[in-house]
Structure 1
């Protein structure tokens, strides 16, 4: 029996979060998706603070960049500078296609940068591709 793969989704758009949740739920029962809506809650989840005191360590983080309270760029930098957290793979999943964002996130050790497609079917394909690659092909730490 496979272990559960804990996925932390940091996404402030409820429609995108719900769609990702549905796709992952439909395809693999061994995934446990944890959703937070901003960068402050993401860091609280990772540091097991406040209401996240029982949070599991995520096996992978899907991170939006444009978040309230604490921006995804700050979350990425903080996670990758932390000795205990830096080995967690981070996939940037954002609407930004700005070259500056792409360069900065890779310089801060993001594992992949994906611009969210506007088209619904393409969005589903992207989520399925992320799941297939990161949860079925790659061996996570």
Structure 2
């Protein structure tokens, strides 16, 4: 009998800033995170991706979400997925520069798993991503 290790979970990054996308990719690499990272540049693109039946990878179960984006912002995206029975169980971590209490309240009222302020230094960002990796590695998700 052979034991096969589970396929690493796909993670969706919803982020419109190319520099922030590169920083997340760099932090994944520095932390040896092997999860596939799929990028959408706004909420509309992310919803289309999540609702697609023709993906070349397992559907994401974890979303890293920026709040300030064009077309459809993060809070609007959260409202949409929480109303969709096929997407409502996604684990969403907000990663944003917004330190506004109203954004934090809105996000937590929409059941985010965490609200992380984007650190200014790369070292702090790498540490934050390492903590996230520890979290989703420890958690068990239904198939």
- Report if TM-score (shorter chain) is over 0.5: yes
1:38-117 residue pairs with structure 2 within 5 A?
Answer: 38-48=42-52, 53-54=54-55, 56-117=58-119
Give the secondary structure class of the aligned counterpart of 1:68.
Answer: coil
Using structure 1 for the length normalisation, give the TM-score. 0.89
Structure 1 segments, 4+ long, off by >3 Å, are none
Q: Which runs of 5+ in 1 are unaligned?
A: none
Which of these two proteins has the greater Rg computed from alpha carbons? 2
Give the Cα separation in 1 of the matches to 2:132 and 2:64.
9
Structure 2: distance between partners of 1:75 and 1:138: 24
Which of 20, 29, 41 aligns to 1:16? It is: 20
* Cα distance between partner residues in 2 of 1:19 and 1:105: 23
Aligned positions, number:
136
Q: Unmatched 5+ residue regions in structure 2? A: none
